[in-house]
Structure 1
């Protein structure tokens, strides 16, 4: 019988980016899962652009399930922040793969970064 637990992490490492969208009041929440790198960055950027076309009151990008956040993902967040303004974009980043690049680049001083989704949605 194959050991499924050992096979699962290897399969996850090659997983494409998954982005789920839902509305919470007038806000849109994008839950992102996978790795944001050169291969998947354009998918994230396209989803963000499409979401902005709907002119939501605000946007929460939840990176809780992101295993890698590269420069293409950081650039996409900056572009959205420029388009929406810092009070209308909220980023959930609490794990090292997401929070560390945001902090190392100084983007935590530009982006509204929250430790969890509830905090991001409840903030004034």
Structure 2
């Protein structure tokens, strides 16, 4: 079992939360508490980088839904970045793919709309439904 690793990096009106490991029943509280603390700090746009997620189940998906709801309640834009195939597949299977804005994660692309110029590691937002 992989422990969940969470880090955040603040830059110019947005914050990137990097998630690595397994998103499941055991790690759901960690993700929820960490992201709520970030959102409570009013960072502007929050980008959750899921590139390091190795496993996700229904509880992990439920955690992402709860984070999205919390962000919306606090008027904080929320984007998912670098979602690996395991996450994309679960979003599609549950018809939640249109509920989240998922952006690509790259080394030197332009920021998504609404993010400052300093967001050089993400590219233009493309909803999953458009893929």
Say whether the fold is shared (TM-score over 0.5): yes
Larger of the two Rg values belongs to structure:
1
Q: Which runs of 5+ in 2 are unaligned?
A: 114-131
Q: Which runs of 5+ in 1 are unaligned?
A: 1-13
TM (norm. structure 1) is 0.78
Pick closer, same or farther for the CA change 1:120–1:60 going to 2, 3 Å: farther
Of 36, 58, 62, which aligns to 1:75?
Answer: 62
Alpha-carbon offset, residue 117 of structure 1: 5.4
Of 47, 58, 64, which aligns to 2:51?
Answer: 64
TM (norm. structure 2) is 0.74
Distance (whole Å) between structure 2 residues aligned to residue 88 and residue 119 of structure 1: 22
**Cα deviation 1:64-109 (Å, max 9, x = unaligned):** 0100112222222222222333981100144221111111112220
Written as runs of structure 1 = structure 2, the 5 A alignment for 1:85-100 is 85=72, 88-100=77-89
Cα RMSD (Å) of the superposition?
Answer: 2.3
| Number of equivalences | 111
Pick closer, same or farther for the CA change 1:67–1:108 going to 2, 3 Å: same
